Structure 1
Amino acid sequence: MRIDIEDLHVAYAGRTVVAGAHLVAAEGQITGLVGPNGSGKSTLLRTVYRHLKPTVGRVLLAGADLRELSPAWSARHVAALPQERGADDFELTVREVVAMGRTPYKRAFAGEDATDRDIVARALADVGMDGHAGRRFIALSGGERQRVLLARASAQNPNVLVLDEPTNHLDIRHQVELLTLLRTQRRTTLVSLHDLNAAASVCDRLHVLHDGAVVASGPPREVLTPALLAEVFGVRAAVVNHPLTGDPLIAFDHRAPADQSEEEDAPTAVTPGVGSVGA
């Protein structure tokens, strides 16, 4: 199921947070959103899983305007893992939290069937939490909770996954396992990531947000250039080939931020639609 975002504007508290964003998340691909804090990534994702309404523009799922689709239809086809989580005080077990992902498929007061149980068990196993099914969710660490909530989204059996910083709170091993799982599932996935090297490795396509606008789009190797990293993120970096995978690997200069005035080849200002790749 393909996602098309057309001329999206989103405002709240009297401030425009996303301004005229255009992007595509192709069916079966992992599409990444990257950008500095406050660039509009989370706000854009919230419009896709219906937490916010756009002031202008639209979100299309398989060509249909999201605003014209019923919440029940959306719940069966789109699953989200937001940054803001309302489950921290649940007095539920891990398994019960994951089983909530089956709710869109159940009639009121209907119990689980064998299919539900198999899907929940598989979702727990995929994130390495099958041995913790009976634990209380509230007793888990932040990383464990993140994995359980991802399992809940997977149990929803969606066509589309919308993930806002899914590697938050995870140690490096579980970050790698989670990102590998996303590639294995091959669902249409729209994900925001702070870790640019993770984004370069796992994403088929990237969209770079800056001040609420998409300023570059394309394959990671074409988008994550030293010039863009300096202009958008304010860092000095070299982009080389990863010695193990061949993916783009960003080597940051941690001693000082980018000083474009000292660079002979200082990049020009990035503006929406100018210099972007395959927007």
Structure 2
Amino acid sequence: MRISVEDLEVALSGRTVVSGVHIVAEEGEIAGLIGPNGSGKSTVLRTVYRHLRPQAGRVLVGGTDVRTLTAVESARRVAALPQERGTDFELSVHEVVAMGRTPYKRAFSGEDRTDTDTVAAALSRVGMSGAGRRRFSALSGGERQRVLLARALAQDPQVLVLDEPTNHLDVRHQVELLTLLRDQRRTTLLALHDLNAAASVCDRLHVLHRGAVVASGAPREVLTPELLAEVFGVRAAVVEHPLTGDPLIAFDHRGAVEAAAV
């Protein structure tokens, strides 16, 4: 299902934080939002999963404005893993993941075999099989992250919206998560701070800077030394990854920011 963000403008506390934003994720495509802190990445994602209402513009999911959908219709189309996550659930891991089945349940209806199988499959996909009886509140940060991703997968959405999904994950689980996203080929819109991860997993990148999109395209087209200097204020070389052939950014950690073309 295609996502299209058209001429989006959002204000928070009376201040415009994103303006004129156009973003696309084609069906089955992974589109990444990258940019410095405060550039508007999370704000854009929040409009996609209806946490924020824009002042102007619209978000289309499968050609339908998300603001015209009911809560249930929206939840069946879009599942989100936001940055602001409740982490004090006094529930079991199974119960947290089963919350993803809510859009498919009638009020007060119990869990059926489809729900149970879906929850088990989602936990397996994030490497948390066998953890269903553990207390969510007792998990590590990385384990909680994977359980919340399992909840989004259990929702069986057509679109995933993920805000910094690799936060708190160790290297192995970062790689496994990115592999999962690539393999499922579900339309996905995600924000990432790790530019090398973005280059590896994303089919398309949108670069935000000061609330506007300043570049869009394939990672190889977008991630240039000039853009990295202008937007991120860093000196870097972009080379070919020796194992995957993806763009690989080598940052100059000794170079002063002032030396970059900002």
The answer as to 2:71 corresponding to 1:71 is: yes
The correspondence of residues 1-279 of structure 1 with structure 2, limited to 5 A, is 1-86=1-86, 88-260=87-259
1:33: how far off?
0.2
1:36: how far off?
0.1
Counterpart code for 1:5:
V
1:167: how far off?
0.2
Counterpart-to-counterpart distance in 1, 2:67 and 2:127: 36
Counterpart-to-counterpart distance in 1, 2:71 and 2:105: 14
Counterpart code for 2:8:
L
Cα deviation code 1:64-83 (max 9, x no counterpart): 11111111100111000000
Counterpart-to-counterpart distance in 2, 1:257 and 1:63: 46
1:258: how far off?
4.1
Count residues in correspondence. Answer: 262
1:260: how far off?
4.9
Q: Name the TM-score, length of structure 1 as normaliser.
A: 0.92
Q: Contact between 1:238 and 1:251, CA under 8 Å: does it hold in 2?
A: yes
RMSD over aligned CA atoms reads 1.0
Q: Contact between 1:234 and 1:257, CA under 8 Å: does it hold in 2?
A: no
The runs of 5 or more residues in structure 2 that have no matched partner are none
Counterpart code for 2:119:
V
* Moved beyond 3 Å, runs of 4+: 257-261
Counterpart-to-counterpart distance in 1, 2:17 and 2:209: 10
Cα deviation code 1:112-166 (max 9, x no counterpart): 1111111100000011111211110000011100000000000000000000000
Counterpart-to-counterpart distance in 1, 2:256 and 2:8: 32
Counterpart-to-counterpart distance in 2, 1:248 and 1:41: 22
- Of stretches 187-196 and 61-70 in structure 1, the one that deviates more from structure 2 is 61-70
Cα deviation code 1:71-108 (max 9, x no counterpart): 1100111000000012x221100011001100100001
Counterpart-to-counterpart distance in 1, 2:225 and 2:18: 25
The runs of 5 or more residues in structure 1 that have no matched partner are 270-279
Secondary structure of the residue aligned to 1:37 is coil
Counterpart-to-counterpart distance in 1, 2:65 and 2:107: 27
Counterpart-to-counterpart distance in 1, 2:43 and 2:220: 26
Secondary structure of the residue aligned to 1:53 is coil
Cα deviation code 1:169-218 (max 9, x no counterpart): 00000000000000111110000000000000000000000000000000
1:3: how far off?
0.6
Secondary structure of the residue aligned to 1:144 is helix
